[in-house]
Amino acid sequence: MKRYEFILKNLDCANCANKIQNKLSENPNYKNVIVNFNTLKLTFDSEIENVKPEIEKIIAKLEPEVEVLDVNNFKNNKSYSKANLYRLIFGIIIMIFALYIELPGYLNFILTIFAYIILLFRTAKNAIKLLLKRTIDENFLVTISCIGAYFIGQQTEGLMVIILYEIGKLLEEKAINNTRKSISELMNIKPEYANLKHENHELKVNPEEVNIGDIIVVKQGEKIPIDGVIVNGEASLNTSSLTGESKLQDVKINDTVLSGSINEKGLIEIKTIRKYKDSTVNKIIELVENATDKKAKTETFVNKASRIYTPIVLLLAIIVVFLLPLISSITYKESIYRALIFLVISCPCAIVISVPLSYFSGIGKASKFGILIKGSNYLDSLKNLKTIVFDKTGTLTKGEFGVEKIKSINKYSDDELLEYAALGEINSNHPIAIAILKEYKMRKNIAEENDRETIKNSEQVNLKYQNEQLNNIIIDNKKITQFQEIAGKGLLYKIDDKTIKVGNNEFVDLNKQEYKKMCKNEIGTIIFVKIDDEIIGYIVLNDSIKPESKNIISKLKNLGIKTMMFTGDNKDIAEKVGNKIEINEIKYEMLPTDKYKEMEKLISRRSENERIAFVGDGINDSPVLALSDIGISMGGIGASSAIEASDIVIMTDDLNKIEEAINISKVTNMIIKQNLIFAMSIKVLVLLLSVIGIAQMWMAVFADVGVTLLTILNTIRILKK
């Protein structure tokens, strides 16, 4: 089974996109057919080779003006060519001569017919082709209205309808293209080329031509085209297109860098670790472009309703023609006129276009902030969140040990205790060793700079810069001899003929009663330091809570959302973290299967309109992420496992992005409601006015293309907010 992708040029109608999708889906040779009106992309699976000719034939029967293009051949989309614009202008000039200038003989009559032919040419041609295929749409409704107006003596109004309709469609298409352009600018992260290093020179190539292990050069001002590791040089990168964060990221040799980042300063050589198709930037682009393939309930309902809408409207218009003369004093000529207005008003474009365009805009806006939403159904569901369950480690906490407390006993100071431990830990790669070394270097650095509060507490200190400063501190461990690391217990070594033990209570020969007495009320991982036969103190380590955890829990509570925490940690540690951030409910000592079963219970108890989200790291909790209504991954920048595992991906570990995503969902939903209420209200109002004889043809045109244009312009507000 092969995956095919084509661009449908000149596809300017969301309803038309639905018709094409439905028709192709009926064919057993094509599976998973999706026509995305927002990106003009047709995708499907098929075992047939060279499918394009048949696809073109099927689409031509439905939408004669739509061209099927290969993705790589598509440059832009201008449905209304210059020829159509010139035709419109020429038709208006002919109409002016025909209706407003007295000409000899039958010239006025001939020019009126000629104006009709010129102005109605495209619309009538499409209507006839579709009618032959037993399909009717707005082209048919407008054509019938204009021709009908001519035969009841309303030639001027008939011509004005088609002129206003063509102008409206021109403006409508321009507005749609502007919206697409705005979204494209939000997602303008695709690199155009790569500087491939070849022997002693560089070749400018397509990123898709670069292989894993190739060396590429990224100069100042250029985008990184493919994920890789820096092998030469240093740079400051702008990763805002990936993460939404404007702060520059300093990188050096051995650092991993992601495609889509912009080199603001420096020159770097990168060894690629992925092909372009698997790179971060391409995954993001694919996610955003395909996101609206998974449709929300509102969008699905509108699409289904539009299939039967036009035939019903046509039937109602016929009823208006024959019923009004029977129940009132108006003539059949007047009832026909009112029915024609009715037909023009009833075109469903405003509703069919604005809903998917709104979701697409919301998803595009979210991506600008480093929030990848995989479907409009997930964007829509965010507004209905009533419960959010958080994983603890790596989500609410940093997922790494930090020294919380140092407690010395007898004659030794805290700093001396820490130094004895650090001298041994420098030979270990264990996470506990890394935490102790970091704390030791921090204190040593503080002592040297005499600026403890600024270094440790200031939020303005860049963590990466801080770590680089600490790495410059050298620990002299030459006096350490007879070093041993006992797995799962601790370290044993000698310093100046002193035997040092660093490890758990069993390793330092501390029984349970002595342990409880010495470490009463301590919560966390406790590491003891013993010199010869004397325990000189202990170090308490805990997984550090993220600075924004308490803040986001408070914000979610204000939104009326219940917060919960699922963790495999013991009761004491879980409650310590949960109480600090003031989370509503804590579940501890849970295996992955326990989390899954508990999520099943939550889902079974929720109401139909409520939604439950799970926030995790995208790796360990993938079953729960998949089970929840909305799985949100806090996977860090570009983690491919996080992108695959969840419905929404936060491209940084910033929990505040969850609130931003909820706000975008609410704004999108508000815009959709405004569009639907406005479009339907105007249409119903003008429909009623047409039935009682007040509305004229120009009002009907406004109720169609005018309302469509206004709803599209309103949708653009999502991108501007």
Contact 94, 155 (CB under 8 A): no
pLDDT at 457: 46
Per-residue b or e along 598-637, where b marks 16 or more CB atoms closer than 10 Å to that residue's CB: bbeebeeeeeeeebbbbbbbbebbbbbbebbbbbbbbbbb
Q: Token digits for 150?
A: 């001519």
The conformation of residue 269, written as its DSSP 8-state character, comes to E
Which residue carries 């520059």 as its tokens? 248
Instruction: Assign 185 to helix, strand or coil.
Output: helix
391 tagged catalytic: yes
Select, from the ranges 183-192, 257-266, 337-346, the one with the highest average predicted confidence (pLDDT).
257-266
Section 151-166 average pLDDT: 79
CA distance 371 to 649: 6
pLDDT band at 674 (very low <50, low <70, confident <90, very high): very high
pLDDT per residue over 563-577, tens digit each?
Answer: 999 988 788 888 888
Distance of CA 602 to the CA centre of its chain: 26
Instruction: Assign 263 to helix, strand or coil.
Output: strand
Section 618-646 average pLDDT: 72
Domain ranges of the chain: 2-73, 194-288, 370-396+546-666, 398-545
Q: Which residues pair with 136 in a beta bridge?
A: none
pLDDT per residue over 499-532, tens digit each?
Answer: 999 998 889 888 888 888 888 878 888 899 999 8
pLDDT at 463: 42
Mean pLDDT in the chain?
A: 80
pLDDT at 178: 62
pLDDT per residue over 591-631, tens digit each?
Answer: 778 888 999 999 999 988 899 999 987 556 777 888 889 98
Residue 190 CB neighbour total at 10 angstroms: 17
pLDDT at 562: 95
- Under CATH, to which class is 194-288 assigned? mainly beta
pLDDT at 389: 95
Residue type, 492: L
pLDDT band at 8 (very low <50, low <70, confident <90, very high): confident
Q: Which residues pair with 545 in a beta bridge?
A: 397
pLDDT at 172 over 80: no
pLDDT at 538: 94
Q: Which long-range contacts (CB under 8 A, 24 or more apart) does 155-161 make?
A: 155/99, 155/112, 156/99, 157/696, 157/697, 157/698, 158/116, 158/697, 159/95, 159/99, 159/112, 159/115, 159/116, 159/119, 160/697, 160/698, 160/701, 161/344, 161/697, 161/698, 161/700, 161/701
Indicate if the alpha-carbon torsion angle 46, 51, 57, 60 is positive or negative.
positive
Section 682-711 average pLDDT: 78
pLDDT at 642 over 80: no
Residue 458 CB neighbour total at 10 angstroms: 10
pLDDT at 619: 57
Q: Token digits for 184?
A: 């494209």
Percentage of residues in the chain having pLDDT higher than 70: 82
Section 352-366 average pLDDT: 80
Contact 681, 345 (CB under 8 A): no
- Comparing 24-28, 181-185, 562-566, 585-589, the range with the smallest average pLDDT is 181-185
CA distance 5 to 277: 15
More confident call, 299 vs 209: 209
Kindly give, in sequence order, each residue whose CB lies less than 8 Å from that of residue 351, ignoring residues fewer than 6 positions away. 302, 306, 675, 676, 679, 680
pLDDT at 476: 57
Closest by Cα among 535, 541, 531 to 515 = 535
pLDDT at 40 over 90: no
pLDDT at 275 over 60: yes
Contact 347, 331 (CB under 8 A): no
Indicate if the alpha-carbon torsion angle 102, 108, 114, 115 is positive or negative.
positive
Q: How would you class 207 by CB atoms within 10 Å of its CB: exposed for 0-12, middle for 13-18, buried for 19 or more?
A: buried
Residue type, 329: S
pLDDT per residue over 323-337, tens digit each?
Answer: 888 888 888 888 887
CA distance 314 to 343: 7
pLDDT at 473: 46
CA distance 626 to 618: 10
- The catalytic position among 391, 629, 647, 704 is 391
pLDDT at 440 over 80: yes
Q: Which residues pair with 387 in a beta bridge?
A: 562, 612
- Nearest-10 Cα torsion for 119, 120, 125, 130: 140
Section 653-660 average pLDDT: 90
Residue 100 CB neighbour total at 10 angstroms: 9
Residue type, 327: I
Q: Which residues pair with 650 in a beta bridge?
A: 371
Residue 236 CB neighbour total at 10 angstroms: 15
pLDDT at 198: 84
pLDDT per residue over 472-493, tens digit each?
Answer: 444 556 678 888 888 778 889 9
Q: Which residues pair with 540 in a beta bridge?
A: 405, 526
CATH number of 370-396+546-666: 3.40.50.1000
Closest by Cα among 541, 539, 542, 563 to 551 = 563
Show the CA angle centred on residue 291, arms to residues 288 and 292, nearest 5°: 125
pLDDT at 467: 47
The conformation of residue 135, written as its DSSP 8-state character, comes to -
pLDDT at 609: 86
Which residue carries 């270094």 as its tokens? 455
pLDDT at 528: 93
pLDDT at 470: 43
**Structural fold of domain 2-73:** Alpha-Beta Plaits (3.30.70)
pLDDT at 226: 92
Q: Token digits for 151?
A: 């035969």
Cα R_g (the chain), whole angstroms: 34
pLDDT at 16 over 70: yes
pLDDT at 561: 95
Kindly give, in sequence order, each residue whose CB lies less than 8 Å from that of residue 82, ignoring residues fewer than 6 positions away. none
Residue 460 CB neighbour total at 10 angstroms: 5
CA distance 67 to 200: 45
Q: What phi-psi label fits residue 660: left (phi over 0), alpha (psi between -120 and 50 degrees) or beta?
A: alpha
CATH number of 398-545: 3.40.1110.10
Determine the angle formed by the axes of helices 14-26 and 52-62, rounding to 10 degrees: 130
More confident call, 419 vs 346: 419
Contact 257, 228 (CB under 8 A): yes
Q: How far apart are the first and last CA of the chain?
A: 42
CA distance 525 to 642: 28
Section 415-422 average pLDDT: 88
pLDDT at 554 over 70: yes
* Phi, psi at 260, each rounded to 5°: 100, -20
Section 361-370 average pLDDT: 82
More confident call, 303 vs 716: 716
The conformation of residue 210, written as its DSSP 8-state character, comes to P
Section 369-391 average pLDDT: 88
Closest by Cα among 324, 332, 503 to 420 = 503
Instruction: Assign 223 to helix, strand or coil.
Output: strand
pLDDT at 171: 67
pLDDT per residue over 211-241, tens digit each?
Answer: 999 999 999 989 999 999 999 999 998 887 6
pLDDT at 711: 85
Contact 546, 402 (CB under 8 A): no
Indicate if the alpha-carbon torsion angle 125, 128, 133, 136 is positive or negative.
positive
Contact 168, 705 (CB under 8 A): yes
User: Edge-to-edge strand order for the sheet containing 67-70?
Assistant: 31-36, 41-46, 2-9, 67-70
| DSSP sequence for 435-487 | HHHHHHHHHHHHHHHT-HHHHHH-TTS-HHHHHHHHHTPPP--TTEEEEEEET
The conformation of residue 507, written as its DSSP 8-state character, comes to T
Contact 625, 618 (CB under 8 A): yes
pLDDT per residue over 251-263, tens digit each?
Answer: 999 998 988 888 9
CA distance 103 to 111: 10
E-strand ranges in 382-442 read 385-391, 397-408
pLDDT per residue over 139-151, tens digit each?
Answer: 777 788 788 878 8
pLDDT at 1: 76
Q: Token digits for 239?
A: 């990763």
Closest by Cα among 270, 253, 282 to 219 = 270
Q: Do the first three CATH levels of 2-73 and 194-288 match, i.e. the same topology?
A: no
Residue type, 152: I
